[in-house]
């Protein structure tokens, strides 16, 4: 992608765009959709219209506004679903961690490292 590490700042917007429009395992959604209540329009969709873009282009402004209002009303529900997804994800991570943990019991006389 790059031959020099000095131009990292010019690549940063592309990295941020990829991060914000990718589905995250922990939430099950994209950060963009949790912020704005809808999926982002990808740059390729402007050149080669997707079904979503074609459907939106045929709507009148009032129809589009009412659909957008409905999406915004459902945004709290979507965020709540993401919170439940995060809690479930944390439980799965905890179970995976706890499988590998060995419980040690210290008794008087055991040698331990003491930090002063």
Segment 64-101, tens digit of pLDDT: 788 878 888 888 888 999 999 999 999 999 999 999 98
Task: Please report the pLDDT score of residue 73 as a whole number.
Answer: 82
The reply to whether 4 falls in a domain is no
The reply to whether 108 falls in a domain is no
Confidence of residue 49 (pLDDT cuts 50, 70, 90): confident
The reply to whether 30 falls in a domain is yes
Task: Please report the pLDDT score of residue 31 as a whole number.
Answer: 93
Task: Please report the pLDDT score of residue 23 as a whole number.
Answer: 92
The reply to whether 1 falls in a domain is no
Structural domain count, the chain: 1
The reply to whether 40 falls in a domain is yes
The reply to whether 61 falls in a domain is yes
**Which three-class secondary structure string do you get for 70-103?**
HHHHCHHHHHHHHHHHHHHHHHHHHHHHHHHCCC
| Domain that residue 31 falls in | 13-98
Contact partners, residue 115, CB within 8 Å, separation at least 6 = none
Question: Which DSSP letter does residue 22 get?
Answer: S
């Amino acid at each position: 992608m790059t031959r020099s590490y000095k131009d990292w700042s010019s690549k940063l917007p592309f990295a941020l765009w990829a991060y914000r429009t990718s589905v995250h395992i922990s939430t099950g959604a994209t950060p963009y959709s949790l912020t704005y209540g809808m999926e982002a329009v990808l740059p390729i969709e402007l050149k080669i219209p997707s079904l979503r873009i074609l459907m939106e282009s045929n709507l009148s402004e009032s129809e589009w506004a009412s659909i957008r209002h409905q999406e915004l009303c459902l945004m709290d529900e979507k965020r709540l679903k993401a919170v439940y997804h995060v809690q479930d994800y944390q439980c799965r991570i905890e179970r995976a961690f706890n499988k590998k943990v060995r419980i040690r019991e210290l008794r008087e006389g055991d040698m331990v490292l003491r930090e002063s």
